[in-house]
Amino acid sequence: MLYLIILILGLVILGVLLFFYFRIKNKGRLLKSFDMALFLVTMPKYEFKKEEMIEEGEKALIGQMEQVFSTFLTLKTSGFFKRIIYGSPRVAFEIASQVGGTDISFYVAVPSFLESALEKYIQGVYPRALVEKIPQDYTIFEPSGATAGSYLKLTSPAFFPISTYKNLEKDPLSTVTNTLSKISPDEGAAIQVIIRPLTQRKWKKTGDKILSKIREGKSVKVAMSESSRSWFIDSLMELNNIFIGHKEKEKFEEPIVKELTVDEGTIQAIQSKVQKQIFEVNIRLMAAGKDKARAEEILTHLQGAFNQFSVYSMNSFKTIELKKKRLKKLIYDFSFRNFIPAQTNLLNIEELTGIYHFPTHYIETPHIKTAKTGSAAPPAELPETGPNLIGRATFRGEEKDVYFASKEDRRRHSYIIGQTGTGKTSLLQEMIRQDIENGEGVAVIDPHGELIEDTLANIPKERLEDVVLFEPSDMDRPIGLNMLEYDTPEQKDFAVQEMIAIFHKLFPPEIIGPMFEHYMRNAMLALMADMNEPGTLVEIPRMFTDDNFMQEKLRKVKDPIVKSFWLKEWKQTTGATRSDMLGYVVSKVGRFIENEMMRNIIGQSHSGFDLEKIMNKKMIFLANLSKGLTGEVNSSLLGLILVSKIQMAAMKRAKTSEEERQDFYLYIDEFQNFTTDSIATILSEARKYRLNLILAHQYIPQLETEIRDAVFGNIGTLGAFRVGADDAEFLEKQFQPEFSRFDLVNLDNFNLVIKMLINNKVSSAFSFQTIMPKKGNIKQVEAIKKISKLKYGREKGLVEMEISKRSNLDNI
């Protein structure tokens, strides 16, 4: 009797202990659910030719997911008591189309201690994947709608394999995602795959036993039965299910083993299942719709997508559908990503990969959320500090500031391309501001005007006197700009050749021919004969119409070829030929002379500023050539003259020692409007004269072939914001293998892909986000403009009087 009482008391105590154990365990499981981090994983969507889409390539890409899963094989909770309370850690892999959108997203939820490692796990296998932590969980449930759900169980013992991606004809993921793509924005659906590692040694040992017994001649049924777990373990699992509160359908029980014919295929199938690493897996399917019928319809389609895993296999999935209270429990477990032993499937890593892997570029399912662009690590040699901070690179959760390494690297010039509004001007503005603050000499040629205004707002007080502002649209005090002035014979020849090239740039080729060049060259050389009082473009018509003026200019001409042209060739040209040539030449210059604004600028015999002095004294030259205020052709002419004169000033530095040459930074926005073929000379030789170019524009077809080749053949630092498809295809060769054309057409605003010159070596391509420019002090802009115009401009009336007298405009 006493023994009976002790036995009953022992059972009661055991029951109480088990009761509290499972309550604590459930609480621990809930706490673990809150202690998980959710990540959205997006893969870049590449464009490949159809002939490249071969089966072997697709399966190899799918198989990479096995490496990701293998990183979780050794997951375990540290500490004996923690393992009892919290159980084994789990990882959730989900595919969802949430309510309110049509995107199909891929998520991974991991314990918080894996938060920093997950990105490295995934990007170690998929370097171009984007792994983004999601601060707030997504939802597939519609509050006013209905929900349906189920989980999947294997129909046969786990040692029998299901079909995998290796023996299915197409990617099994495409069938699943196609189902999700057909639901509307006010509906939701998700597939949740929760895994936790199983003791590999025990699994393989049991599998080897089964195979051994089969080889001994025993049937599959007997081999399975004899090799299975003991009755005591089964009893404990049964008690576990009872205390957790699962009903009969959710009990963890071995499926009934069907008697199979033992052949070599059966042995190989079991062996293939046993050989690979194993996971305990919960697979849940959830669907939400406007009503119960629609939710169940979506769920049915999802369930049907898993029928493919029974093809060519010895195993398959059956669906366990739940209603009412049991459905609520399933929704609860889904929401908190709980691992439920009663829903366990034992799948090896190959089977698991077939069920869940990240999408490859072969999948044509619409609405799969992809990474807009890939990413690449910034080069290890990127300097930690520097005079010019241009952005911040973020790669795999780590941020790094991006600096130019040295002045030497910038002497090899920089080229920036990008569509309107992508961030070019903001980057230029910040680079200009920093150069000015660093005391560097800077010139900016801006065809829009905003860049100049922003730069003026950021001029430090100590550099206000250094500013030279050239603003043609302000006609009250025009600043002279004469292309025909020079200091050396070399500059004279260069100026004439550049002026001819400029007219080729401004006018269609069919109206600029050898005769135009011949007449224009001789006119300019005659006007340039007097170095102290050079002529201007405005006086070119007078050379052809006023014999007295021509004779006066010829007195200074020493070149016999030029004299011969005017005294023999031109004088002998009479009648209709003379009239035609006069109109042909003068008409090209006339459009500028007839414009009051342009006449008062290019008609002054001496420029209002000395570009050589500006460069040598490290001053600030700002040219506001706003097309809206100046006119497109006028803007181009003035810009072309300015760039040519800056080049002339730079090349004059050859007379000074290299150590005495000051670095000067020339920024040209929309540079294709302001450069002739001589840009090749600037890019290849101006480096040694310390003229450092920063060139920016919108798209490559803007460039003539010679200029394009010169740029890409000589540029040291090459950067691209978002570009069009044609440009991306061309630039892809510059940024491979880190970035593709797809990346370049999908860059977000203010994101730049770049190859930098670092310590005279070209880095691998990487991307970064440019820093936002400082706004500056708008109030000082007008004051700086007034000071500069008073110093470098001249009174309008005086300029007009001089031009009229020298050009004899009244008699044209």
**In this structure, are residues 641 and 483 in contact, taking their beta carbons and an 8 Å threshold?**
yes
Confidence of residue 251 (pLDDT cuts 50, 70, 90): very low
Residue 810 pLDDT > 80, yes or no?
Answer: no
Mean pLDDT of the chain: 85
Strands 664-669 and 691-697 come out as parallel
Residue 232 pLDDT > 50, yes or no?
Answer: no
Q: So what's the pLDDT on residue 307? A: 94
Q: So what's the pLDDT on residue 128? A: 80
Tens of pLDDT along 621-643? 999 999 999 999 999 999 999 99
Round to the nearest angstrom and report the end-to-end CA distance of the chain: 137
Q: So what's the pLDDT on residue 18? A: 57
* Token duo for residue 86: 């919290």
* Token duo for residue 564: 């011969």
* Token duo for residue 122: 């995934």
* Token duo for residue 755: 């190859």
Confidence of residue 161 (pLDDT cuts 50, 70, 90): very high
**In this structure, are residues 365 and 175 in contact, taking their beta carbons and an 8 Å threshold?**
no
* Token duo for residue 12: 């009661």
For 181, residues 6+ apart whose C-beta sits below 8 A from its C-beta are: 97, 102, 104, 365, 366, 367, 368
What is the arithmetic mean of pLDDT over 273-293? 93
Residue 241 pLDDT > 60, yes or no?
Answer: no
What is the arithmetic mean of pLDDT over 345-359? 95
How many Cα atoms occupy the beta-carbon half-sphere of 235 within 13 Å? 3
Report the candidate in 802, 452, 746 with the shortest Cα–Cα distance to residue 604: 802
**In this structure, are residues 168 and 81 in contact, taking their beta carbons and an 8 Å threshold?**
no
Confidence of residue 226 (pLDDT cuts 50, 70, 90): low
DSSP, collapsed to helix, strand or coil, labels residue 151 as strand
Tens of pLDDT along 595-608? 899 999 999 999 99
807: amino acid identity, one letter: S
**In this structure, are residues 363 and 34 in contact, taking their beta carbons and an 8 Å threshold?**
no
Q: Any idea which residue has 């849940």 for tokens?
A: 284
Residue 616 pLDDT > 60, yes or no?
Answer: yes
CA 187, chain centre distance (Å): 32
Q: So what's the pLDDT on residue 199? A: 79
Mean pLDDT is lowest, of 5-19, 397-411, 706-720, 785-799, for 5-19
Phi-psi map region of 751: left, alpha, beta (phi>0 left; psi -120 to 50 alpha): beta
Residue 249 pLDDT > 60, yes or no?
Answer: no
Residue 225 pLDDT > 80, yes or no?
Answer: no
Residue 257 pLDDT > 70, yes or no?
Answer: no
Name the residue with higher pLDDT: 302 or 58. Answer: 302
| Whole-prediction pTM | 0.77
Maximum mean pLDDT: which of 10-19, 212-221, 646-655: 646-655
Mean pLDDT is lowest, of 29-33, 137-141, 263-267, 668-672, for 29-33
Q: How far apart are CA 382 and CA 402, in angstroms?
A: 7
Residue 463 pLDDT > 90, yes or no?
Answer: yes
Helix or strand run (H / E) with residue 38: strand 36-42
Report the candidate in 438, 476, 790 with the shortest Cα–Cα distance to residue 620: 438
What is the arithmetic mean of pLDDT over 786-797? 94
Residue 702 pLDDT > 50, yes or no?
Answer: yes
Residue 190 pLDDT > 50, yes or no?
Answer: yes
Q: So what's the pLDDT on residue 250? A: 42
Report the candidate in 571, 600, 622, 593 with the shortest Cα–Cα distance to residue 447: 622
CA 319, chain centre distance (Å): 43
Q: So what's the pLDDT on residue 513? A: 79
Tens of pLDDT along 466-524? 999 999 998 999 999 999 999 888 889 999 999 999 988 888 776 777 888 888 999 99
Q: So what's the pLDDT on residue 52? A: 42
What is the arithmetic mean of pLDDT over 73-99? 71
What is the arithmetic mean of pLDDT over 274-289? 93
Q: How far apart are CA 774 and CA 454, in angstroms?
A: 9
What is the arithmetic mean of pLDDT over 662-683? 89
DSSP label at residue 640: H
Residue 242 pLDDT > 70, yes or no?
Answer: no
What is the arithmetic mean of pLDDT over 543-549? 87
Q: So what's the pLDDT on residue 53? A: 42
What is the arithmetic mean of pLDDT over 130-139? 89
What is the arithmetic mean of pLDDT over 797-811? 78
Residues in the chain: 812
Q: So what's the pLDDT on residue 83? A: 45
Q: How far apart are CA 135 and CA 138, in angstroms?
A: 10
Q: How far apart are CA 699 and CA 626, in angstroms?
A: 20
Residue 806 pLDDT > 80, yes or no?
Answer: no
Residue 243 pLDDT > 50, yes or no?
Answer: no
**In this structure, are residues 587 and 597 in contact, taking their beta carbons and an 8 Å threshold?**
no
Q: 3-class secondary structure for 378-392?
A: CCCCCCCCCCCEEEE
Q: Is the dihedral of CA 284, 289, 291, 297 positive or negative?
A: negative
Q: So what's the pLDDT on residue 230? A: 52
Q: How many CB atoms lie within 10 A of CB 448?
A: 16
Q: So what's the pLDDT on residue 2? A: 67
CA distances from 256 to 221, 239, 259, 391 (A): 9, 20, 9, 63
Tens of pLDDT along 56-81? 588 899 999 999 999 998 876 554 44
